[in-house]
Structure 1
Amino acid sequence: MPCIERRLTSAGVLRLDFLDERVVRVRLDPAGEFTDTGLDRYGFILPPSGDGPALSLSGGDGAGQAATAAMAVSWGDGADLLEIRDAKGRPRVRLQSGTVGDAGAEVVLGAQPDEDWVGFGDQTRDRLYHRGHVADCHVRNVTSYIPVPFFMSTAGYGIVVNTTRRVVFDLARRDPAALSWRDGRRAIDFHVLIADSFRDLLDLYTRLTGRPKLPPEWSFGLWYICRTQANDYEAVNDAVNFRREGIPCDVIGLEPGWMQTTYDGSLKKDWSRERFPIPPYCLNGPHNFTNALRRMGFHLELWLCCDYDLSYEAERRIGQPTPSDEQARTAAFFQPDAEHDEHFSAPRRADTLTRPEEPWFQHLRRFVDQGAEFFKMDGAYQVLDHPDRLWGNGMTDGDMHNLYPLLYARQMVEGYEAHTGRRGIAFTPCGWIGFQAWAGTWTGDTGGGRKTLGAMLNTALVGHSWCTNDMEVTQKEALHVGYLLPWAQINSWNYFRMPWVQGQDLLESHRFYARLRAQLIPYLYAWAWQATRTGFPLIAPLTLEFPAERASREILTQYLLGRDLMVCAFDHEAIFPTGRWVDFWTGAVVSGPGRHAIDWPRHCGGGLFLREGAIVPMGPVMQYRGERPLDEIELRVFPGPQPSAFSFYEDDGTTLACRDGAFATTLITVTTTTEGVTIAIGDRQGAFAGMTPTRRWSLRVADLAALPRTVTVNGQELPSTAWSHDPARAEVVIADLPATARVAIRR
């Protein structure tokens, strides 16, 4: 990796590390003493692969330039210490000053008059653009669960501040011509990313800090979390009621009441003997409540709190020795003929919870063996500062506090996967730089209303995909959002939030949305796979896809779910970006850009629209994933003027084999001409264990108001009895297509 150091007369030593043609790490220190952070040490900022970009150099100390094919970085002692221009010579970043003192480091960048910034994660829920505001990044309970010191500029750059300390950004609030930040680390250390779009900047950011891993397919089904007062009978009864009511559901979760000691953060936790008695002579079934849940198709989640010192395991994983109390005990007996007093022969630790030689996940294996498939990692102690704690890796809490959620998420995922050979889930409300690579999240103790959407859209702007809230079950508007998120969760907590006790009207809405979600899982799963490849989130605020349209900049109640579905929540008026959009409920077409009134059926709670060019696969309603083969797929298609394509993705749904290429894709394309619409379903490419041998497709094609003249499949004209036309919805429906088909609909 190309690295240069130059001494600046007024600011000390400048160090530039070029990770990529479009990514440079900038460090500045008065004495030229550069250190790494916990993000570097533990691999949350990834080292570059290969030798790095070719570099051309000119000048030297005092003033000079280093250039890649995509950017030129110049330095000097003038008005700007550092300037970064793109390949066309356009200025992107101007570092005006950088100072380091006892209180921390302060960096000031020049700001263009019309420049604005997105990012920073969940540290505000009231806006997406931050000009004129302060962004305070520090993990806190409720107010800022996932603050991320990464932002993207409308001027075509992104900044990743390499720190785990509290960092506070001033986004042209104090000075309209400047952006600044104060980093408690007392070091100037940040990465600059150069790209023309937010999409490309997220690609660079997630390359630097990690792509998300594809979770198991069943995680995209509905989750239900029982009351914390529940016992084994109530948990099983809740599961039975989901099946009886025909409400698809894949997860049953238990809150802290599952433990003998509520909120037990020790290694000795156990099932409550009163509420969840498991006979000691058959700990792993087959007749325990966990086995009963599994036989009904449910996956079990257990609530968890953790204040364990995870830094010992983090050090082990990078090859560093871990202190052993047993070694210290042996070393204490240095005089062979002395009396051995066992009472005073081992170290006495202030941290009585942690066993340095034992990874945190180790004590959870027995619960996994009994049927738990993931753990809800509550904010609990990880959102709290530990001002007097010295961690096992030598860090103070100032450096460890924001790093802790990353260590926690990764160790849970890797521990589960090493133990089971199946894909792991870390389900947590907390995060920092790089959390998107390891964690799925919920919005903590903030409910299921509008504010939670602001939190999730802001985390999407830092590359996060797997998110949900605590669904508000008594409002149809909240159901609309809760069921149409990347993940969907009903959390009863201390209350009675079961769908069947909300009254018949709401029960029907729950059933409708749960069944719709079950049908949409093939679509969600395919775009989830794309998120793991590109870093573009599964849920996206409109401004991420339409950054040039200023009307979408502050929209907090609409979002894209995958590429082709727009969800409109809470309001009867919506912004429609450029293009045409078809109402999922009625088939009516709305043209953008513009603001339009919207409505929805009585059993629904918001708007849902297909984007022009949409290809949305919908599967059969399953009460749980794997209930039946995925051998029938209906494609919802909204042809646009430009060709569109979709990769239908499938794998075994649970194992790690997909990471080694055990998956299959089917390319589907849609082309519109003056003569009509052609939809091509290609050959399936790839294979995996348990793959459905064949599949039948059907089509529901929108925006076809007139009765087609002909419909052909693979060159053969279909009789009129083999397809239908719905003039009210302006749709053509074609059923029972073969596994590979070319369908032509002639106007």
Structure 2
Amino acid sequence: MKGKMRRFKTKKYYCLMLLLFGFLTQAQAQDNGRNITEHSYNKTSRIRIQMISSNILRISIVPERGEFQNSGLNRYGFITRPDSEGFKPQISAAAQGYSAKTADMQVKVNYVTGNIHVTNTDGTKVLLDQSGASFEKGITEAVFKADKEEDWIGFGDQSRTHLYHRGYMADCDVRYKTSTYIPVPYFMSTKGVGILVNTTYRTIFDMCKTKPNSYNWKNQSGTVDYYVIVGKDFKQLINSYTSLTGRPKLPPQWAFGLWFICRDQADDMEAVNAAYSFRQEKIPCDVIGLEPGWMERRYDYSTKKKWSSKRFPHPFWFNDARPPSFVPALKKMGFKLELWLCSNYDLSYEAERQAGRRAGIKVNSDSLKDAAKANATPPIFQDDHLSGIVYADTVTLIDTPWFHHLEKFVDQGVDFFKQDAAVQMEFHPDRLWGNGMKDKEMHNLYPILYSQQMYDGFKAKTNRRPAALTPAGWTGFQAFSATWTGDTGGELATLGGILNTSIVGGSWSTVDMEVSTKEGIHYGYLLPFSEICSWAYFKMPWVQGSELTSIHRDYAELRSRLFPYLYSSARMSTKTGLPLLEPLTIAYPEDKNCRENLHQYLLGPGLMVGIYKKDMYFPAGRWKDYWTGQIIEGSQQKDISWPEDKGGALYVNSGSIIPMGQMMQYRGEKPLDEITLYVFPDQKETSFDLYEDDGITFDYEKGNYSTTHITTKKAEIASIIEIGKTIGTFENMVKQRTWNIIVNLEARPLAVSMDGAIIKEDQYTYDDTRKELTIRKLTKPGMISVREK
């Protein structure tokens, strides 16, 4: 007992005890033997363990008289069970406890000390060592041992100054205009394990800051509830985490074009002039957006919002269903339309209805109204002189989903809505929400309910892919929305937020581009999404001076041409959960030089972007400067430069295949019937799958899409590029395509052939400066051989 007391003081820490998968006789669990039954130790606490899959485990601990409960994340569908059919752990007795083994991990419990260990399959490596839990004075705490060399990444956008967190506190609570826009209580250890704390309460993590060999978290949830994920590396952990919390969903094709958000003061003429100017200046752009000034009542939280009669007038002969006359003008020029929104609506009523539908239970309006009466803040007062009941919440229509009032704008041609930080990120300490939650539980849940209902509402209304956009989020945000870094501009510091957001599964991200510097332009165009927000200023590219206007045009054209690469890479994100913008430390986890790199990233698998700094680190491999053609050997730090008409670094990794299309002023302007492959062959064979679909509907989920498998390899005497046959079909698919190839080559080729037939010299050229061979106008797929010796 004396030894045990060193670990668990009986008045401070509650000892942990568990039964494995019904191994003992008490209260055997169901669910195919994957759940561990609950048991108490010394009448102080109870624990329940559930095996979700071969590499995912859930641990829940409550005080002896507490009840096991799901969090709002479970209830509202932000955490789901991955498909794990056929999975069943092996159960065995061990000294002073029990163990359960799967193909990926082993769970061990010592019921004398109360310790819980998660190890690798053979038990030789401890991945997680929980040493205590307490529930004192309303504060829940979980405590773990830390290895000396262990470090952690994760937590989302709650810090923009570092990626690794040993020696830091991580405060996860959504806040406005700080570095906590999208905090996520998920982190991954360098030992190959991830932890997701299953809560929406503010949670503060002490990652060995107070004690050098111990980390912990604290919140007011009243329960220790977390998921343990085991994986060989960060990529596998992110894959499993997003299988649990939701994969990013494929946006419409036009979302990958440039977005321009007009000034708050803009009227219909300014919006049309901005659109017209983009076309006249030949700067590709897909979206025109409007800030709060589009509404009759600025920052209108109600469901009665309407167009400003002064700025966006309806002629008297227009009915309400007809769009303002500027909308068809935008559409004729190929633009999509976005509107700014703010929300103070109680989304929990609709969340309850949706939860009921998922559970096969009808949640009727009367029960919701009864709950609203009981939960009203302050209490409802009934005056005998007045009819009806007055709620403190004067915005919410209990019977009506929040998206319903936006449908009329969708009918008028609005393509998506920007969910501003306004109100959704504010604290409401005296508010009791319709689902019975107090604000301390609802505050971090609200932003993801907002995105979920935005996505689901638009999809149900249109059967088109939504393009939700928000600055705020929590666990599972990545499954519904793209994000931007809030009202913090587009300078270097914002990248820290994007990198940390990417680490927790965020794939579609952007910033408010800094349009008046070359560095800001470079960064803003080379992100998953690209946005210029004028807000109260004149940020149109054509008023930045002739030099910067030209640079805007060049980068917008490059982005337009990169579409096939970005879209195909985005498709892979939806299947694996890996972000489109990848921190170097995710791609090269063993390279410690990549750990705290906050000015470089991979955009898709083959492009490395450097922003604002000329001190670059090059990971293993060979790297080709896309601007100049210069090749740099990897595994070194190097001072670099870029051309005067560029604003940052852009490199292609050896082995990369970058498919590029024709430049278009907007998506769909013309068929994508010509593809240029930018290829940097490596001695190891590499590949890329060009993915295509109709770009708008969900037909791709039914198998209506195509892929073209492309491979390359640098053999002893020749470089080989093979374009496979396109597999699959979809509506309006290109039937005939022309292929061009630009391939890195150290010297002028001796011969070029396709499927054994010689390609004539007038069909290709060689650039001695860039060391590139360009092959033009191939009219069919096949194997291209470029002989060098």
TM-score normalised by the shorter chain: which range applies?
Answer: over 0.9
Which residue does 1:449 correspond to in 2? 491
Which residue does 1:190 correspond to in 2? 226
Which residue does 1:74 correspond to in 2? 108
Which residue does 2:144 correspond to in 1? 109
Superposed CA offset, 1:249-269 (max 9, x none) = 000000000000000010000
Matches within 5 A, 1:234-253: 234-253=270-289
Partners of 1:105 and 1:250 in 2: CA distance: 49
The alpha-carbon deviation at position 671 of structure 1 amounts to 1.8
Partners of 1:183 and 1:52 in 2: CA distance: 36
Distance 1:466 1:583, change over 3 A: same
2:128 pairs with 1:93: yes
Matches within 5 A, 1:254-653: 254-279=290-315, 281-282=317-318, 283=320, 288-319=325-356, 320-324=362-366, 344-653=386-695
Superposed CA offset, 1:618-652 (max 9, x none) = 11110000000000010000001100000001111
Distance 1:343 1:420, change over 3 A: farther
Percent identity of the aligned residues?
47
1:692 maps to which of 729, 734, 737: 734
Distance 1:281 1:686, change over 3 A: farther
The alpha-carbon deviation at position 50 of structure 1 amounts to 5.1
- The 8 Å contact of residues 616 and 638 in structure 2, kept in 1 or not, is answered as yes
- The 8 Å contact of residues 246 and 511 in structure 1, kept in 2 or not, is answered as yes
Superposed CA offset, 1:450-488 (max 9, x none) = 111110000000011101000001110111110000000
The alpha-carbon deviation at position 60 of structure 1 amounts to 9.1
The alpha-carbon deviation at position 33 of structure 1 amounts to 2.3
For the residue of structure 2 that corresponds to 1:456, the secondary structure is helix
Which residue does 1:40 correspond to in 2? 74
Which residue does 1:172 correspond to in 2? 208
| Amino acid corresponding to residue 96 of structure 1 in structure 2 | S
Partners of 2:729 and 2:615 in 1: CA distance: 45
The alpha-carbon deviation at position 603 of structure 1 amounts to 1.1
- The 8 Å contact of residues 195 and 201 in structure 1, kept in 2 or not, is answered as yes
Partners of 2:174 and 2:251 in 1: CA distance: 25
The alpha-carbon deviation at position 138 of structure 1 amounts to 0.3
2:58 maps to which of 7, 20, 25: 25
- The 8 Å contact of residues 125 and 458 in structure 1, kept in 2 or not, is answered as yes
Partners of 2:618 and 2:723 in 1: CA distance: 30
Partners of 1:612 and 1:494 in 2: CA distance: 44
Superposed CA offset, 1:55-108 (max 9, x none) = 222349972112222211111245561001111321111001111223221011
- The 8 Å contact of residues 6 and 61 in structure 1, kept in 2 or not, is answered as no
Distance 1:527 1:382, change over 3 A: same
- The 8 Å contact of residues 95 and 108 in structure 1, kept in 2 or not, is answered as yes
For the residue of structure 2 that corresponds to 1:532, the secondary structure is helix
2:182 maps to which of 131, 134, 146: 146
The alpha-carbon deviation at position 363 of structure 1 amounts to 0.5
For the residue of structure 2 that corresponds to 1:372, the secondary structure is coil
Partners of 1:326 and 1:85 in 2: CA distance: 46
Partners of 1:185 and 1:364 in 2: CA distance: 35
Superposed CA offset, 1:704-735 (max 9, x none) = 12111100012110111111111110000001
The alpha-carbon deviation at position 681 of structure 1 amounts to 0.6
- The 8 Å contact of residues 18 and 24 in structure 1, kept in 2 or not, is answered as yes
2:125 pairs with 1:125: no
The alpha-carbon deviation at position 432 of structure 1 amounts to 0.3
The alpha-carbon deviation at position 15 of structure 1 amounts to 1.1
2:170 maps to which of 135, 142, 148: 135
Partners of 1:725 and 1:60 in 2: CA distance: 69
2:92 pairs with 1:55: no
1:9 maps to which of 17, 41, 63: 41
Which residue does 1:336 correspond to in 2? none
Matches within 5 A, 1:658-677: 658-677=700-719
| Amino acid corresponding to residue 3 of structure 1 in structure 2 | N
Partners of 2:276 and 2:41 in 1: CA distance: 73
For the residue of structure 2 that corresponds to 1:647, the secondary structure is strand
For the residue of structure 1 that corresponds to 2:408, the secondary structure is helix
Distance 1:53 1:284, change over 3 A: same
1:200 maps to which of 232, 236, 242: 236
| Amino acid corresponding to residue 130 of structure 1 in structure 2 | H
Partners of 1:165 and 1:580 in 2: CA distance: 46
Which residue does 2:748 correspond to in 1? 707
For the residue of structure 2 that corresponds to 1:83, the secondary structure is strand
Superposed CA offset, 1:314-337 (max 9, x none) = 111122524459988xx9xxxxxx
For the residue of structure 1 that corresponds to 2:311, the secondary structure is coil
Superposed CA offset, 1:537-560 (max 9, x none) = 000110010011111111000000
Superposed CA offset, 1:550-585 (max 9, x none) = 111110000000000000111111000011000000
Partners of 1:739 and 1:392 in 2: CA distance: 61
The alpha-carbon deviation at position 284 of structure 1 amounts to 5.2
The alpha-carbon deviation at position 673 of structure 1 amounts to 0.9
For the residue of structure 1 that corresponds to 2:562, the secondary structure is helix
- The 8 Å contact of residues 711 and 743 in structure 1, kept in 2 or not, is answered as yes
Superposed CA offset, 1:103-132 (max 9, x none) = 221011111101110000000100110110
Partners of 1:674 and 1:583 in 2: CA distance: 24
For the residue of structure 2 that corresponds to 1:376, the secondary structure is strand
| Amino acid corresponding to residue 74 of structure 1 in structure 2 | K
Structure 1 residue runs without a partner (length 5+): 332-340
Q: Which is further off, 259-268 or 653-662?
A: 653-662
Structure 2 residue runs without a partner (length 5+): 1-30, 357-361, 374-382
Superposed CA offset, 1:378-400 (max 9, x none) = 01101111101111111111111
Which residue does 1:334 correspond to in 2? none
The alpha-carbon deviation at position 12 of structure 1 amounts to 2.3
Which residue does 1:725 correspond to in 2? 766
Partners of 1:402 and 1:371 in 2: CA distance: 32
For the residue of structure 2 that corresponds to 1:610, the secondary structure is strand
| Amino acid corresponding to residue 97 of structure 2 in structure 1 | A
For the residue of structure 2 that corresponds to 1:399, the secondary structure is helix
Partners of 1:209 and 1:221 in 2: CA distance: 27
Distance 1:694 1:612, change over 3 A: same
For the residue of structure 2 that corresponds to 1:460, the secondary structure is helix
Partners of 1:9 and 1:487 in 2: CA distance: 52
Distance 1:99 1:342, change over 3 A: closer
Distance 1:525 1:632, change over 3 A: same
Partners of 1:646 and 1:629 in 2: CA distance: 21
TM-score, length-scaled by structure 1: 0.96
- Give the alignment's Cα RMSD to 1 decimal: 1.8
TM-score, length-scaled by structure 2: 0.91
